[in-house]
Structure 1
């Protein structure tokens, strides 16, 4: 791929633009605010997210989506999940006819319970085989620092997946291809909810047994939902499943884990938002994932309790008690 547009100059879009450039791809980074694009052009760095990260010369910036998308054969979407539909509705007519669209987003749309690739197909009016999803243990700050990691690029079109793979492969970023779009997306979305629970458990002082239980049972409920929706169960044992889940739960760099810690200390949703200066994806997605699970008659007890804490004011300690007092059964 010769030229990429990264739509979203936030905490993930910015280092991903660097990654593409390090792999030899010319990149235009779109920023919502003109002053951010101007700062990147003037200084070669994003002052809001990575002021000390020097972006390669192959990266340029603009606040004009038409300029960003002109001639781009790779379109990378890196905006908050719940804003995708509205943003993409304005961009759809600017996307090149055969461009490959890649989702970096890890969420489920509120109201529709659609995965991000489903929103892309519906809103942009493109064939599903033109849409890929990138997922895995991808903590942005570590990738910006060029710490070694691996990831998965899932697409129904194997040739497109391979082309994206080539466009992002660097000495510090090892991409694998996969055709299980459903599994990779669900793994990325649900792990944010489990990481909220992990953060709560950390703040409440629970030990490694509790945390290991949350990871493994969280993975189990993710896989249950995925299999019901047609995913390959083996996907959840890989980078887009267990790998992403462990990184998001265990790392203090994780916004979802950190947000969960604030909730675990007894702070309200509003207080946690003020302390972290953002809303973690899992806070909104837990509602949509809960609805999706109920629609398909899938039991997801951790997700249910996280939703109760986040949106119905439940005490995190009561949530843990509720999980532990559930009827015993075979694993």
Structure 2
């Protein structure tokens, strides 16, 4: 296969995708910032920090040189945390040409600008072909060839279908979608709700509570998404309710695990340190809260989680606040139309 692929980021997801693509026969270079970690992976063929016990194929090159990982590559995968994407793109922008495809797999929204990764990419490398890959996909399972379905979104159909062909395997099914902003928002904002689901677990609440958080959470995500130009149907798909389910219910989810620790009494920083890896939902909660104010969208769950994380609100009081909100119709955004014929 002539395509060569560069993966920027050697965390669990970047490593899992590198393994999947290498098993398919592609030549892959994976970039890590830390030289010592690179040397250790080269020596052991294992990323012990993120995917212990999973062998990394020999056709995955490991490097700490960004230019090596991006030069002459058909596809460049952005697998760094979302808050690091801008600096990475600034560094490599002169090395990206119009024939390469940027595939973002990070899930987050920049705090300072409230930009999604596609918006950052358009600003820094406006001529690049861009796609976002998202959906219910724990790296721990993908790396071990457990059947997984995911979605790729791009403004250009041919780009989405190209990425679909690159990534699809008998164990990794890829769908296409034209709704870039919807897929990005679904993948990012579900982490906020997963923090809430974890907090609920940490408080000792049950399935009823989690179901309520998930259901009302997708309503919040959809409301904001529509205001930002997304297609509501995207939030019923893999990057919406699909990713929300897996992130709110699995112990693979760092966001849920961090939420559990906060529900049990840890501070936000204590929970992050205890997890020992990036918890995207922490920063995304701040961005989501600010976006709700910018677009004047009701997001009560997000608002309470923001209060717990950034304003030291009591978590039990936040639950009471949610339960005792003003009475409303379940389909509150449509209630005026419904009431006319009810």
Specify the alignment match of 2:204 in structure 1.
Answer: 205
Count of equivalent residues: 329
Query: 2:74 & 2:214 partners in 1: Cα distance?
Result: 38
1:158-210 CA distance string (max 9 Å, x none): 11111111111112110001100011000001100000000000111111111
The answer to whether structure 1 residue 20 and structure 2 residue 21 are counterparts is yes
Structure 2 unaligned runs (5+)?
331-342
Query: 1:126 & 1:13 partners in 2: Cα distance?
Result: 24
Specify the alignment match of 1:196 in structure 2.
Answer: 195
Specify the alignment match of 1:240 in structure 2.
Answer: 239
Query: 1:61 & 1:278 partners in 2: Cα distance?
Result: 20
Asked if 2 retains the 8 angstrom alpha-carbon contact of 1:219 and 1:236, the reply is yes
Moved over 6 A (4+): none
The answer to whether structure 1 residue 44 and structure 2 residue 45 are counterparts is yes
Q: What is the deviation of 1:277?
A: 1.5
Query: 1:286 & 1:268 partners in 2: Cα distance?
Result: 15
Identify which range, 37-46 or 276-285, moves more after superposition. 37-46
Asked if 2 retains the 8 angstrom alpha-carbon contact of 1:73 and 1:96, the reply is no
CA RMSD of aligned residues (A): 1.2
The answer to whether structure 1 residue 264 and structure 2 residue 260 are counterparts is no
SS in 2 for 1:177: strand
TM-score w.r.t. length of structure 2: 0.94
Select the structure of larger CA radius of gyration: 2
Specify the alignment match of 2:8 in structure 1.
Answer: 7
The answer to whether structure 1 residue 315 and structure 2 residue 314 are counterparts is yes
Structure 1 residues 67-146: aligned runs within 5 Å: 67-127=68-128, 130-146=129-145
Asked if 2 retains the 8 angstrom alpha-carbon contact of 1:182 and 1:231, the reply is yes
Q: What is the deviation of 1:56?
A: 1.8
Asked if 2 retains the 8 angstrom alpha-carbon contact of 1:305 and 1:319, the reply is yes
Specify the alignment match of 2:32 in structure 1.
Answer: 31
Query: 1:230 & 1:50 partners in 2: Cα distance?
Result: 37
TM-score w.r.t. length of structure 1: 0.97
1:270-327 CA distance string (max 9 Å, x none): 2212211134111111111111111111111111111111111111111111111100
Q: What is the deviation of 1:39?
A: 2.3
Q: What is the deviation of 1:55?
A: 1.3
Query: 1:248 & 1:11 partners in 2: Cα distance?
Result: 15
Query: 1:121 & 1:268 partners in 2: Cα distance?
Result: 36
Specify the alignment match of 2:333 in structure 1.
Answer: none
The answer to whether structure 1 residue 159 and structure 2 residue 158 are counterparts is yes
Query: 2:255 & 2:49 partners in 1: Cα distance?
Result: 20
Specify the alignment match of 2:340 in structure 1.
Answer: none
The answer to whether structure 1 residue 293 and structure 2 residue 295 are counterparts is no
Asked if 2 retains the 8 angstrom alpha-carbon contact of 1:70 and 1:96, the reply is no
Query: 2:192 & 2:61 partners in 1: Cα distance?
Result: 34
